[in-house]
Homo-oligomer: A and B are copies of this chain.
């Protein structure tokens, strides 16, 4: 152990003792406890005095803003416009038909203002289809009013009663919800996939989380819609799938319900085709955090942290100046970079602190670096350290961050892929489920069979269900049978436990 390493070691101990920043749980041993601890200790979340509500701290909100800026710019290129519909929903609108049945038990109701009872209770939106579409009916009259493409960034409330969990199952969350209407199904179908591709980019290119694009089963699709597509992630540590963002084709079901009718080019009455699509702060969930330590460089709040490493006999001010210069240089080059110049913590403490927060690249500057006109760069993902000459710092930092992003994604993909198991029979399926796998199985695509699988796999860990039928289908030789029913299989589908 070099003197330097021992300094780091000291720093870590000091941190644990003095500030409780250390983690008591290990990711691989107790994921749930580790997760609860890491979201707080990394300053992403603060627990709040109402169950299921969480404070999203700047570390989380910066990730959210980065995803917002990317997605918002992309949909604006697609001519989607921003709107804002009210938080409150009158009961008549909410109680329209079967769509809302799925949400009814989770709806929060306002019944009082000040000391007065309201004449009729008012709901808080769990989603806005039924809020918005009466107005689509009003605004859409002729074919020239189509397509109508609106999106809003807002909060929604789903008062779930299952165990509240930060991000994954918070009762209030932030999201975008896009609601579009077209003259033809062809246009609607195309948009569903365009949006889904943007969601894949958010997960894979920004958050470095591998996802599978596919279609949900009839049982799992959006209530009232025609079909649902999604990106599905998987958490190896818990062996659970997690539904990412969803892009729904609503078909003409809502158009019929809300009379969204237009005069087409031939002067005939026609019904609009609709989509809705959403991703939320629930996206910053276990699948993302399962990657920590090592949050992705594209979405990281701070990509580079600069830490001065002063020594007794060295010129501390010059070191601090070099740190500030480095921050300036990298900031100007477009990186999100900060220096930790606090004088009441040791370098070792700072290393642990920023590791905990998942900063992918650390730059250390000590007297030797100063003398050689270089900095020392330490990667978060593989602990590799390398000296970088100041002369081409920007290029090298860019290369390293790109490489970290790729490595993180590849490592996560390898780990995820190792969880995938093909099961052709019920026995293979049950065995794989016991091993917490994500199971790819030939399926007859019948709703009753999915219900039956749920019943047969019920247990302490929760039942298995379909995650999605991947767009990227392996070959399905003629005569292949459904793993569960023994009937002819129609498609490959992913199954597993999920959040």
Of the 9-residue stretches A46-54, A215-223, A242-250, A461-469, which lies at the interface with chain B?
A46-54
Partner of A108, one of B60, B84, B112, B135: B112
**In the assembled complex, A104 has its CB within 8 A of some CB on chain B:** yes
Question: A29 interface residue, CB < 8 Å from B?
Answer: no
Contact A105 B109 (CB under 8 A): no
Is there an interface contact between B111 and A111, defined as CB atoms closer than 8 Å? yes
A55 to B121 CA separation, bound complex (whole angstroms): 20
Residue A443 interfacial (CB < 8 Å): no
Residue interface mask A33-54, B partner, CB < 8 A = 1: 0000000000000101110011
Task: Decide yes or no whether A2 CB sits under 8 A from chain B.
Answer: no
Interface centre among A50, A86, A107, A109 (most CB of B within 10 A): A86
- A106–B112 touching, CB < 8 Å: no
Q: Is A155 an interface residue (CB 8 A)?
A: yes
Other-chain contact of A83, B58, B86, B159 (Cβ < 8 Å): B58
| B-contact bits for A58-78, CB 8 A (1 contact / 0 none) | 101110110000000000000
Residues of B within 8 Å of A81, CB to CB, are 58, 61-62
- The residue among A49, A89, A115 with the most chain B CB atoms within 10 A of its own CB is A49
**Do the beta carbons of B112 and A121 come within 8 Å of each other?**
yes
CB of A110 within 8 A of CB of B108, answer yes
User: Which chain B positions have C-beta within 8 A of A82?
Assistant: 58, 61-62, 65
Closest CB of chain B to A167's CB: distance in Å? 12
Contact (Cβ within 8 A) A107 B111:
no
| A93–B61 CB distance below 8 A | no
A53–B110 CA distance with the chains assembled, in angstroms: 14
Q: Are A50 and B174 neighbours in the complex by a CB distance under 8 Å? A: no
**Which residues from B are CB-within-8-Å of A135?**
46, 55
Is A88 interfacial (CB 8 A cutoff)?
yes
Residues from chain B with a CB closer than 8 A to the CB of A57 are 83
A53 touching B108, Cβ below 8 Å: no
- Residues of B within 8 Å of A86, CB to CB, are 48, 50, 53-55, 172
Asked if A420 CB lies within 8 Å of chain B CBs, one says: no
A342 to B115 CA separation, bound complex (whole angstroms)? 53
> Does A95 interact with chain B (Cβ within 8 Å)?
no
A90 x B49 contact (CB < 8 A): yes
From B87, B112, B144, B172, contact of A157 by CB (8 A): B87
A85: Cβ under 8 A from any B Cβ: yes
Check if A84 sits within 8 Å of B56, measured CB to CB.
Answer: yes
| 8 closest A-B pairs by CB | A58-B81, A113-B159, A53-B86, A105-B114, A109-B112, A56-B84, A61-B82, A111-B111
What are some 14 contacts across the A-B interface (CB < 8 A)? A48-B86, A49-B134, A50-B90, A50-B122, A55-B135, A58-B81, A58-B150, A61-B81, A61-B83, A64-B84, A107-B113, A109-B113, A114-B159, A155-B155
